[in-house]
Every structure is written in C-alpha cells, then in structure tokens.
Structure 1
C-alpha cells in the first residue's frame, strides 16, 4: 500500500476539505476565522457552511493563477487522506495582504490579531520575490503518522528544485518536526501571538504568548540568494 500525490480536481473540492477541516477543526486560527461554525458545520460536507465554502473555493480556483491544491490518495482504497495548498510564484509575487471582511467587531479584531503578524512578516520578506509558499499541509486524523505529510512536502520540494526557488512556510508548533526532517531551516523573524488572542476569556494566568515558527527550504543548499529581508537563524 502507498500514497500518491496528484493535483486536486473540481470534483475533489469537498473531499479535499473534508481532510482539511477534520485536521484543523480545533485549530486556534480556524476557530478565529470561523467563530460561528460548529465542529459539525466544519466537518459535515452537507452543512450550509461547507456548501458555501465549496462554492467559494470553486470560484477562487477559477480566478487564481498561483495557488495549486494537491490531494494525497491512498492507492489501496482510493480515498483522499491528505491535502496541501502551494502558492508558486515563478515570476515575482504580486501577493498583498487581504481582509477578513466576513467578520465584524471583536471577532474580526481577534482574527486580525492572529493573521496580521503572519501577513506582515510575509509581506516584509517576500514582496515582489520569486518563491514557493507552503500555505497548508493537512492529513486526516485517521491517517496521521504514516508519512503523508512528508510526501506532500516532498512534492513541493520537487517543484522548488525544478524552478530553483526557495520555499517559505509558517509552521504550527505540531508540524515543526515535519519541516525540520525535510531540511527546512528556521528564520530569525518570529511573529508573536498574544495569549489574550490565543485564549480569549481565559484568565487563569497559565497561558503564554507563542512565537510562530517561520522556516525556509533552500534548493541546492546555498546556491540561490535569499531576499535581503530573509535572515536565517
């Protein structure tokens, strides 16, 4: 039995995001971005939330020119067990900060407090640069610890090698080992998530601010120049 990484098709949208939301339904940023959605809303492909999400994703695919969605398929069952989003900037990136316009008030403030530092670091280091951005790697909880995350990362590394471009990733603390094993190196830049934004309403004093690990993978070791703002730790 093995796993095969393929480009996701339009017909795969629901199954691909079954994996994503199963993996990240309890993630702090996911909960901040979709505060009104229940776990059932996120994981049930027939929920109104998921139907709207699928429609939005389809529209996004039809207009976006840089982001590629991958699926990892169990070759024995044919089931999608992993997914990844890669932004590939063969020409200098025209990415700019977005807006969290679907939220208002305190909910929007919290989401922007979590996303803003990541957007700021990315803009500072990679504006108008050529690179790959590993937006997300997700593995269904039922299929974790079987090397699927590594396979999805390796797919992106092959593209980076072919294009001779670095890869940039904002890692969760749980995924650091995956990227380190894959040869990624830490950057000095480390945005901080404040405990008040990570754990709203919790006042027991046990919660701490968290640095966000930023990492880069360089094809051919030191054979390419990184942008001036990108400093290795």
Structure 2
C-alpha cells in the first residue's frame, strides 16, 4: 500500500506534535528560542494545541501522510490564500513559560519582513510548517505535502511561499520554487564552546 495523503483530524494532534519535535528539536533556532528541556517539553503541548486550532480554522489546511502501517509519518500546515478584503486573523500561539522572547520576536520580525518583501499582501498558499518523522525520511511524504499546494496554485493561479533551511533546497526546486531572499540571524552561545553562530533560512516562491 503506498503512502496516503489525508486531511488531519483532531485525533492526530499529539502525533503531529511528536513529529514536529522529532524533526525540529535539533534545530539550533528552536533550541535558542526554547532553551531548556522543560520549555521544549511544554512546546510539544503548545504545538498540539495550535494544531487543534489550525485544524478547526477554515483558512488553514493541515495535512498528514500515513504509511502502509497506517502510521502518520509526516505533516504540513498550509495557510490558505486570504483576499485583501477578508477580515481574518490566525489563531494565536501560546508559548512556553521559559520561551526566549528576545530570540523568538527578533526572528519573527525578520520572517515577516522577508515575506512582505517577497510577496507583499498578495493572496498565496503559505507553507507554515512541514515535518517528517526522521525514521521515515526519503519515502516521498514531503513531495505529497508540497505537491498538494502546487496543484492548487496552478488551478487557482495563485503563488505559494515558504521559508526553509537549505536542507530542502532540492525538494522545493524540483517543484519549481525559486529562492528569492535569505534570512539570517546571529544566535549567541549556540555555536561550539558557547560561541555565536549565524542561522540562515531561504525564502522560496512558486509562481504558477
């Protein structure tokens, strides 16, 4: 039985949070934003709560991929196009008590600014999160999750936008995304022996 792409259900939120932390837990930006084990454990609960809100949100599409053992191995959250005259606000996050807001807010400002520069307020499909269980990588799950939106972009003649590390460069380029901008931020104490390190992500745009 091949991989199956499905719309996430409310009962899937704990597995989505589990995959999110397995996929992004080693990321140095996440570790800088949520610097303690207790913060990261609480973050897992926050992710599950936000996934529930997103599943219930009509302007958000949360997708999952199940394998032939019926196990969820991957997920994605796509923000759907919002017209300029629509009155819409995405459900907010609840962050852990030990969140490093200095890092979180600084990165959020950079991300929002980059998106504004690349696509402005034009309606688009926006990939907010995509993650695969590390034990199930390279099976094609991410391609299903990205292809879902690309198909709709072509049908509706609207673009798609996302930010990602360079690890997924080939995946997005294979679907026709192009790198439009890079975002960088110095993370103090996150390098070897407590040194600083520059974290970078790329802004990708798909034009139908």
TM-score, with structure 2 as normaliser: 0.82
1:136 is aligned, of 129, 138, 155, to 129
Q: Unpaired runs of 5+ in structure 1?
A: 43-47, 220-233
Tell me what 1:91 maps to.
83
1:68 is aligned, of 47, 53, 61, to 61
Mapped to 2, the partners of 1:199 and 1:100 lie a distance apart of 28
Tell me what 2:182 maps to.
190
User: 8 Å contact 1:68–1:85 — kept in the other structure?
Assistant: yes
Mapped to 1, the partners of 2:53 and 2:91 lie a distance apart of 17
Mapped to 1, the partners of 2:117 and 2:90 lie a distance apart of 11
Q: Secondary structure at the match of 1:128?
A: coil
Q: Secondary structure at the match of 2:31?
A: helix
Q: Secondary structure at the match of 1:209?
A: strand
Q: Tell me the matched-pair count.
A: 207
Mapped to 2, the partners of 1:149 and 1:109 lie a distance apart of 31
CA RMSD, 1 decimal: 3.2
Which deviates the most, 80-89 or 25-34? Answer: 25-34
Change (3 A) 1:49 1:180: closer
Tell me what 2:30 maps to.
30
1:9 equivalent in alignment to 2:9: yes
TM-score, with structure 1 as normaliser: 0.75
User: 8 Å contact 1:100–1:112 — kept in the other structure?
Assistant: no
Mapped to 2, the partners of 1:158 and 1:177 lie a distance apart of 18
Mapped to 1, the partners of 2:132 and 2:171 lie a distance apart of 12
Tell me what 1:108 maps to.
101
Structure in which a larger fraction of residues adopt strand = 2
- What does residue range 33-52 of structure 1 map to in structure 2 within 5 Å? 33-38=33-38, 42=41, 50-51=44-45
Mapped to 1, the partners of 2:38 and 2:108 lie a distance apart of 21
Tell me what 2:20 maps to.
20
Tell me what 2:205 maps to.
216
Which entry has the higher C-alpha Rg, 1 or 2? 1
